[in-house]
Chain A
Amino acid sequence: MTDKPDDKSPPQPPPPQTAPPNLKWMGKTHQWGTRVKPGKHGLRLGDLNVGIYGEVPPVWTDQTRAPRGAVSRRGVPPLGYAIRDKVDLWADSAADMYEEAIQRRWAPAVSVPWNTVQPLPDDVERAVCQVCTELSQYANADVESVTHWQSQMAYGYHEVKQFLATVSFDGARHMEVFRKRALCNGGGLGLEGPGEVNRMILESRGGWTEAVLYLFIMRGLFTQTMYRYLHRYAHNEAERTIFAHCLEDKARHLTYGIDHLRYAVNHQDDQAMILQQLSFIGERVLVRELKDVVLREALTIVFGNGISGAETGAAIFGRMMSDYITRYLATLKWLGVERRTLFPEELSAYLKAS
């Protein structure tokens, strides 16, 4: 036997002719020779903003996905990004917050000591599950709102897009962890929340800045305050861990929110007045949603450790609301948005009662 092809085998086709390499693309760069070195904390996203790569223009005119600093290819069909003005999305902290979100990530499957969850009295378990049901809806609104707007943001402001990717991932993580808490201790999901604020957030038509006000300031501060109290009145180490981590995630979102709104107020005429008007509108929706008793009753039971402790729980709920309103107003004031007039009586009542 031999490995040689026999003489009767068909002739082999000649090897394909390949064009000699063009390599002209190798000269296509606006800035070559860049050598960013890692610093004490590694090579961070913000460190890359050197030379032309760090030039963030007030308007991003390119309508393609060309990375900032890359050479645009001619003839690429436009993508139609709607948000192309820096003032409509920017926050100086976005790059650092992106790094922070990545480095401080946690995983509900293994970061939460689920084995510390023990059977609770039926009324308390039902209340915890109801709260988790509504919090998972809040988190879903975070994901849907952020991803809706993210796709409309010009690629040139990539730091913001990248940070918002972590926000939507945080939202997914929160949906996960609240669902897990509701389903891990003999309970289950409860009643869907009224969703009026969710709808307001998701249907914001005036632009991302408007959505930021509603999502991160009005709703975000409410959620964060709730997390703080749920951490304080946790029934086990698992809940304590959940709310401690969610609190930090939410604080990051809030930081972007106030950073962006401050940028918008400082760089756009009348933006503070616009935010004032939007606050006025949003607060009415919030008041309507708060008239739904389900979340209030569930939180009252959680804080009071049962229906029998409702009086105590109601007082704690009142303090939570007072803390929220105080912080909400202080945040708006810090942004230059005064809410001295036409603030809903239903909300200011919490301040008077505390």
Chain B
Amino acid sequence: MAAFPSVQWFEAVRAVFNADESYQGGGGGACNALMGLKIGGQSFLITFEGAECSAASKVQDSDLIAADYILEMSYADWKDMIQNIAQNGHADLHHTLNTLDLGRAEGLSHSMHGDQYREDLFFRYNQTMQYFFDASARVATEFTE
């Protein structure tokens, strides 16, 4: 059982994601991006290199400036998304990254650098990011709040 959010939890998701070859075919595949996450008061950097998610680390807020894009929601909204994924095996239409980005006034994805070229990686690799979070359905998760 891994606590969400924690490096241990992201490592577990990473292991599932990297081991499932189905995530590489049919529109998945090579992805090179540094994804920042703001979950409640905690920040993480997730590295995607080629066909794998190669690293996950907990960082200071200020370190998120290195991220190509940052996904930010309240802890409650993250929990809702992760629970939905666990229940369905993948995000339903109300909980995909695309839906959450469209449905929130402040959006889900943004950056600290304002470089549109890098921000657009959120769209270019949207399905891979979705696969990554969908992989969490196979990780036993406990929530800290």
Q: Which residues of A contact B (CB under 8 A)?
A: 40-41, 93, 99-100, 103-107, 110-111, 224, 228-229, 231-234, 240, 244-245, 247-248, 250-252, 254-255, 258-259, 262, 319, 323, 330-331, 334
Contacts and interface: CB of A to CB of B under 8 A. Distances in A.
Nearest to A233: B93
A265 to B, nearest CB: 13
Contacts of B120: 251, 254-255, 258
Contacts of B126: 244, 247-248, 251
Contacts of B116: 258, 330-331, 334
A333 to B, nearest CB: 9
Contact of A255 (B29, B30, B117): B117
Given A244-B27, A259-B117, A40 B127 contact: no
Contacts of A244: 27, 98, 126-127, 130
A110 B26 contact: yes
Given A100-B124, A248-B27, A248-B125, A231 B117 contact: no
* Best-surrounded residue of B28, B49, B114 (most CB of chain A within 10 A): B28
Nearest to A229: B102
9 contacts: A41-B49, A99-B30, A104-B27, A104-B28, A104-B29, A111-B26, A232-B98, A254-B120, A334-B116
B49 A40 contact: yes
B124 A107 contact: no
Nearest to A331: B116
B42 interface: no
A105 B27 contact: yes
B96 interface: yes
Interface string B100-131: 00110000000000101100100111110010
Contacts of B26: 106-107, 110-111, 245
A-B CB proximity, top 7 nearest: A251-B123, A106-B27, A111-B26, A103-B30, A251-B124, A41-B50, A245-B27
Interface in B1-54: 25-32, 49-50
Interface residues of B, number: 26
B30 A40 contact: no
B21 to A, nearest CB: 14
Interface of B: 25-32, 49-50, 93, 96, 98-99, 102-103, 114, 116-117, 120, 123-127, 130
A245 B29 CA distance: 12
A107 to B, nearest CB: 7
Given A244-B130, A254-B120, 17 more contacts: A99-B30, A103-B30, A104-B27, A104-B30, A105-B29, A111-B25, A111-B26, A224-B123, A231-B98, A232-B102, A232-B103, A247-B98, A247-B126, A248-B124, A258-B117, A258-B120, A334-B114
B102 A228 contact: yes
Contacts of B93: 232-234, 240
Nearest to B94: A232
Nearest to B130: A244
Contacts of B31: 104
B112 to A, nearest CB: 15
Contacts of B30: 41, 99-100, 103-104
Nearest to A100: B30
Given A248-B123, A248-B124, A40 B27 contact: no
A331 B120 CA distance: 11
A231 B102 CA distance: 11
A105 B125 CA distance: 12
A307 B26 CA distance: 34
Contacts of A229: 102
A270 B136 CA distance: 50
Contact of B27 (A111, A228, A231, A262): A111
B49 to A, nearest CB: 7
